[in-house]
Each structure stands twice: as structure tokens, then as C-alpha cells.
A and B are shown apart, each in its own frame.
Chain A
Amino acid sequence: DVKVTQSSRYLVKRTGEKVFLECVQDMDHENMFWYRQDPGLGLRLIYFSYDVKMKEKGDIPEGYSVSREKKERFSLILESASTNQTSMYLCASSVQANTEAFFGQGTRLTVV
């Protein structure tokens, strides 16, 4: 079974803090994604990566950056956390284009 693991289930951070969300997948998938999920808005793509050190902006990249130094790990960075970044963050991976995505368990981030 594919396993996508996010480092934390719940996080509480203060406004202005730099926040790191880590995601690791164990199936050698090429593609990795970061989404945020908010009530009424569904899942929105923040960034994705199709290869090591490659990254592409999604629909809502502002206030975020990513890092993919190794194939199995994709990190999401909130440079200076703000209260409007309180959300559920979901990491996903897929083996190639047009195949299904597998999700991590999600990180519920609260910025106070």
C-alpha cells in the first residue's frame, strides 16, 4: 500500500512564525502536491512538484513556498504565518500524470 505521511496531525502556531509542514511518501512517486482544504471551498492546490528540485505554483501559492530536495519528501513552508492560513493542509502523491493521487492524513494548522 502507498503510504503518504505528514509530520503532524495538529499544529498551533503564532502569527509571524515560520512554519514547516513535512510530507514523505514511500512509493517512489514522481509527483507530489500540497493542498489546503477549507469549508465551502474544497481542496485548492498550493504547489506541486513533478521531480526533485522542481516546483510549480498552484492556484494559491501566495504566502507559501516549497522544497523538494529528495524524491520522497515535499515540504511546505509558511514564511510568516497569518490567521488566514488556518486550514487543513493535505499532501498527496501520484506515480505519474493521469493516475490517482494518494493523500496523507492531513495537518490541521491553527494560527493564533
Chain B
Amino acid sequence: RKEVEQDPGPFNVPEGATVAFNCTYSNSASQSFFWYRQDCRKEPKLLMSVYSSGNEDGRFTAQLNRASQYISLLIRDSKLSDSATYLCVVNLPTGNQFYFGTGTSLTVIP
């Protein structure tokens, strides 16, 4: 069983739409959670950390549900520049390993 699973998509949405991605993790003792963004042929870059209380950064909202072991990312008012692959990342209790989902592809259409 994979440590982290996410729907690969692709998600094709019009500009201005709201889109949500979910990601599930298998280890209930996982400690830290992140969303990364990866543009085509580029390295992943941190989009936001995910805190237990949920957190928001402009149009982006991240939530953590420990009981159901999933994290989510909500993007409001999608922009063309949001087109990318979004990676869910979980840090295991041992602390020194990050586990990545395979990524969800988003294309925002004019």
C-alpha cells in the first residue's frame, strides 16, 4: 500500500472556477503535511504547509483531517498561472523521510 495516494487527474477547469484536491495517507502517526507545486520540467516548490487547524494563503486553503487521514487543497478563483501538478507530501514519524503522492495535474482553461 502506498504511503500517500492522490487522484492524478487531470483536472481541466475554466478560469475563475474553484477546484479541490484530496490526498490520503496510510500512516496514522504521520506528523507533517505539505502541498507542493511542480511546473513542467521544473523542481517541486513548497506551496503551503498544512496545519491541524487548517490554513489559508490568499486563494489557497489547506485542510487536514486526521480522523479520516486525508489532506485537501482548495483553490478559489483559478488563474491560468495555477496550471501545474500539485503534490501531496507527508512526513513520517521517523522524521527524516518525506513521502510524495504522484501528483494531481491541473490545467486552467481560458
Taking Cβ atoms with an 8 Å cutoff, the residues of A that contact B are 31, 33, 35, 40-43, 45, 48, 50, 56, 58, 90, 92, 94, 97-106, 108
Known contacts A40-B102, A43-B87, A43-B100; A97/B43 CB under 8 A: no
Residue B44 is within 8 A (CB to CB) of chain A in the complex: yes
Helix, strand, loop or mixed for chain B's interface? loop
Contact A105 B49 (CB under 8 A): no
For B103, give the chain A residue with the smallest CB separation. Answer: A42
Query: A101 CA to B45 CA in the complex, in Å?
Result: 9
Known contacts A90-B43, A105-B43, A106-B43; A97/B101 CB under 8 A: no
Query: A102 CA to B46 CA in the complex, in Å?
Result: 8
Among candidates B8, B95, B100, residue contacting A97 with C-beta atoms closer than 8 Å: B95
